[in-house]
Amino acid sequence: MPRLLIFLGLGLVVIGTLWPWLSKLPLGRLPGDIRMERPNGSFYFPLATSLLVSALVSLVMYLLSRRK
């Protein structure tokens, strides 16, 4: 458990450090993301972005589990 918390903390530090460059990626603006804007409000559901992030996380977890 302590090792997991250390890696999660280091991951957050790395993401925070790289945020200026990561924010320029087209995540959240991919084709397939649902956006509806009306005069009285807006709705945004990042469907394609969610699928892409899920696939990447699944791949990383799969590769990490094979290492043991």
pLDDT in tens, 43-65: 999 999 899 989 999 998 898 88
Q: Is the full-model pTM beyond 0.95?
A: no
Give the closest residue to 32 by CA, choosing from 43, 44, 50, 48. Answer: 48
- Read out DSSP for 1-52? -HHHHHHHHHHHHHHHHHHHHHTTS-TTS-TT-EEEEETTEEEEE-HHHHHH
**Tokens (6 digits) for 28:** 């959240």
Number of structural domains (the chain) is 1
Domain carrying residue 25: 2-66
In contact, 46 and 25? CB cutoff 8 Å: no
Give the model's pLDDT for residue 68: 62
